[in-house]
Amino acid sequence: MNIPILEQYAIPYVMEVKKTKHMRIRFDQKAVLHITYPLGCKIESLESFISKHIEWILEKRSQSLEKIVTYTNGSRQYVFGETCTLQINLSKTKRIDKIGDMIMVSVHDIKDVRKDMLQWRRELAENVFEQLLYACFMKMEHELATFPKIVIQQSKTKWGCCYIHENKIMLNVALTQVPFELIEYVICHELTHFIVHNHSKLFHDQLSQYVTEERTKAKMLKKYPNIL
């Protein structure tokens, strides 16, 4: 089944039949449009639905493409909220230096750029996240029993995660892209889960004691890709 208007705009898409009453559309992290439609849905109805929402699709497609991280020469990278340009040099020496708004990457093989950049970001995270965790913990020390362990890793779905029974939090290495105040927001969000184990009004009331305009900061995070 092909959707002509999506072919016309060269929008990649996948289609899936589900036991649902309504058609739904969404973009994944690779800017591919996912179309879910009910069993027995006619192609004419599907085409009409897509045509009706084509402006939304084009806008969201553009936003999704903006959030895909690439590792080509001259591509954009964020470092703690600053927009930087990647400059790749083939060299016998492997190193990465941030000079002003440039990230200078020296590699033996162009295929190593992403791997080396991820390692560089992990080192940034290790240097910064522990300090920010301590600062956030001190805001909340009267509410928290013990200082939690921090785990830094890649995640396809979450900026952070709280493991209550293990007294630890996970922070996505992709947070090295965002301003420090947003990293603090994520840390305080996860620490608050040690106090309130859900996202109820009580949770947000508690979080707002440590983070001003916490819901605004949650929206600000959406500017940045969480997959590197």
Contact yes or no for 151/133 (Cβ under 8 A): no
CB-count burial class (<10 Å; 0-12, 13-18, 19+) for 103: buried
Taking only the tens place, the pLDDT of each residue in 102-138 is 999 999 999 999 999 999 999 999 999 999 999 999 9
Domain ranges of the chain: 4-66, 118-223
Identify the bridge partners of residue 83 per DSSP, sorted by sequence position. Answer: 78
Of all residues in the chain, the percent with pLDDT exceeding 70 is 100
118-223, CATH topology level: Zincin-like (3.30.2010)
The distance from CA 168 to its chain's CA centroid, rounded to whole angstroms, is 20
Alpha helices per DSSP H over 20-165: 43-52, 54-66, 113-140
Closest CA to 86 of 104, 99, 68, 100: 104
E strand or H helix at 178: none
Longest dimension (CA), the chain: 61
Convert the pLDDT of each residue in 149-203 to its tens digit: 999 999 988 999 999 999 999 999 999 999 999 999 999 999 999 999 999 999 9
Phi-psi region of 19 (alpha: psi -120 to 50; beta: other; left: phi over 0): beta
Scan for tokens 């089944």, then name that residue. 1
**Angle of helix 43-52 versus helix 54-66 axis, rounded to 10:** 70
State the pLDDT at residue 115.
Answer: 95
- pLDDT at 58 > cutoff 90: yes
Q: Is the pTM of this model over 0.85?
A: no
Contacts of 113 (CB under 8 A, 6+ apart): 71, 86, 88, 105, 107
Q: What pLDDT shows up at residue 203?
A: 95
Residue partners of 186: CB distance under 8 A and separation at least 6: 159, 160, 171, 175, 221
Confidence of residue 79 (pLDDT cuts 50, 70, 90): very high
